[in-house]
Structure 1
């Protein structure tokens, strides 16, 4: 099944999310009043007004925003990483915990004195059925951040009636986490802090990856393998943060992907299972809803012909939270993921070497 708007995962993820979905969680009073006690943006007021260009034009933020709302993945994480507690953010249905949040967000919220369940926590709204316009409006935001998102023109126009909206620069779900961080930093008057955060995160990733030299130079395909679907295979392009992460640690996207996605503005392409044997790479990385799916891939008459599957160099991640941490990469999620994800890649790299 091909990835859908439901956070850039294959439609199988929607089914998984439905099973794991948490009911929409709203913390604090319905009028968003709890967030008035949350830490305000600590940016520099003299940096305003700022003008941010994006896919739908440009947005002017006249003064330092005090009440910051976010939609979609990544944006709330970056805001928190910069030390600001949003008045509202999406709840995490896919990969979320009992708080409809993630371990890395929970840790940062606690550090900032705004743990979920307390009166200083952000309001959370479910986006399982699309953007929660009414709930976003109820937080009375000064700005709405969507630097990494899948906003349509209609979504953007609707949100813009609530507050100024900072959308993605070019491609839906295609903003590198570094660029999302810089854009959000500018919107919050924290441009210098955002640059420092990017540098620190990149250094953390590089230092951890250095412990796994066998990964360097290995070719990869990052996609989704679903034996239960007619299509069978989706491949993430260079526009997606998953392949970007693997390239950042020294891996090389396979030629078959580069050749078939050159010039594409999409974050994925569909690939026929009938041509699975053409997907030549040292390692194939996929997320799966459960361990049974991994076994089904290995036993599938077509998908088992993928060279990396044949060689045992398949990385099949059944942990939805880990999948989310890489798929929605950001300065909070990446350090959390490294100790688990890098050993999985290293094991596959060893298998590829025979």
Structure 2
């Protein structure tokens, strides 16, 4: 079964990824006016900046996949599970006291470029980290004594939710989402509700969506260009799989005006809860699209794909429109999309895709 994120480690190296906080966030003052207090947070002269940034009243009740969660007071100590949630909380002005350690896509700091930029902008201390290699680290989370635990983007099960709820109020993923299928907009809205920062959440979403619109205007060749976002790997058990519209990767390209391959849409019909579909290599020539975006452990996989008698028949590969991502942080920025990672992806991931789209369109 294809994982949400590949696991093979690879060091990062690219000068173009060294972005300033201003370039990443565009409106840093809007996204990052405030931080958390406590073990891993900072303080301001005004006292609790987490509480000071709230616009909603407490207590409040938030509805999600596992029911309703009541939060009595504006949370100051926030812990998160999975990816995305800590980015969202930070974008809303509350730097968590604890977050999962990255085992994929980490930079030299064991973090990400976009979170590091936001953290520096906030002036807060770095959160404590805990491993999720073997699942949710209940003991480490409990030790932080959080006021709320965020899992708006996650694969929480009912058992996970019940156990975490013994520690603090828990926010699961939205009712209409599937595990790991929450859009970055919905994650931001839901976490904004939990933190009493709905107004801030709406502003953050509007700002990032404007950045997406600006990027789409900068690359008009994307409009109407069809794509497959998946994996081609001659050495894998499943040599071809493609992400469906449930997944954040296709959502990212669709937000820029690109369109999902009709072949993938047909294969995904009736599988609305699945974020990928497998594809037979014997039918590689039927997986039609203008562009194919794929993850690879290293750039050498490209030659293996192009020399494979079946995978080389994928139309986008045959046409020279294969975008091969061998940088884990690039993969993470789109697959675990957040209001902090999307601006980074627009700067670091999109140019290669736009170049392939222009080539496919003969521009």
Fold shared per TM-score above 0.5: yes
Conservation of the 8 A alpha-carbon contact between 1:45 and 1:63 = no
Q: Structure 1 residue 127 and structure 2 residue 126: aligned?
A: no
Conservation of the 8 A alpha-carbon contact between 1:50 and 1:60 = yes
Q: Structure 1 residue 258 and structure 2 residue 257: aligned?
A: no
Give secondary structure in 2 for the equivalent of 1:59: strand
Give secondary structure in 1 for the equivalent of 2:231: strand
Aligned to 1:156: 161
Map 1:62-77 onto structure 2 (within 5 A).
62-77=72-87
C-alpha distance in structure 1 between counterparts of 2:187 and 2:294, whole Å: 24
C-alpha distance in structure 1 between counterparts of 2:71 and 2:284, whole Å: 49
Aligned to 2:253: 246
Q: Structure 1 residue 187 and structure 2 residue 194: aligned?
A: yes
Which range is displaced more, 269-278 or 213-222?
269-278
Give the alignment partner of residue 91 of structure 1, picking from 85, 101, 107: 101
Give secondary structure in 2 for the equivalent of 1:269: strand
Conservation of the 8 A alpha-carbon contact between 2:321 and 2:357 = yes
Give secondary structure in 2 for the equivalent of 1:224: strand
Aligned to 1:3: 2
Give the drift of 1:284: 0.8
| Change over 3 Å in CA distance of 1:75–1:344 after alignment to 2 | same
C-alpha distance in structure 1 between counterparts of 2:104 and 2:225, whole Å: 30
C-alpha distance in structure 2 between counterparts of 1:111 and 1:340, whole Å: 20
Give the drift of 1:98: 2.5
Q: Structure 1 residue 106 and structure 2 residue 110: aligned?
A: no
C-alpha distance in structure 2 between counterparts of 1:334 and 1:42, whole Å: 27
Conservation of the 8 A alpha-carbon contact between 1:43 and 1:188 = no
Aligned to 2:282: 274
Query: How many residue pairs were aligned?
Result: 330
Give the drift of 1:3: 2.2
C-alpha distance in structure 1 between counterparts of 2:204 and 2:336, whole Å: 17
Give the drift of 1:78: 0.6
| Change over 3 Å in CA distance of 1:37–1:346 after alignment to 2 | closer
Q: Structure 1 residue 331 and structure 2 residue 330: aligned?
A: no
Give the alignment partner of residue 285 of structure 1, picking from 290, 293, 296: 293
Conservation of the 8 A alpha-carbon contact between 2:42 and 2:123 = no
Deviations 1:125-179 (A, max 9, x none): 1212211111111110010000001112221121111111101113000001000
Aligned to 1:222: 229
Give the alignment partner of residue 68 of structure 2, picking from 51, 58, 72: 58
Structure 1 unaligned regions, length at least 5? 22-31, 115-119
Task: State the superposition RMSD in angstroms.
Answer: 1.8
Conservation of the 8 A alpha-carbon contact between 2:80 and 2:99 = yes
Conservation of the 8 A alpha-carbon contact between 2:50 and 2:74 = no
Aligned to 2:240: 233
How does the TM-score come out when normalised to structure 1? 0.89
Deviations 1:56-98 (A, max 9, x none): 2221112211111111110000111111111101122211022
How does the TM-score come out when normalised to structure 2? 0.87
Conservation of the 8 A alpha-carbon contact between 2:225 and 2:357 = yes
Give secondary structure in 1 for the equivalent of 2:242: strand
| Change over 3 Å in CA distance of 1:51–1:296 after alignment to 2 | same
Give the alignment partner of residue 206 of structure 1, picking from 196, 204, 213: 213
C-alpha distance in structure 1 between counterparts of 2:267 and 2:52, whole Å: 45
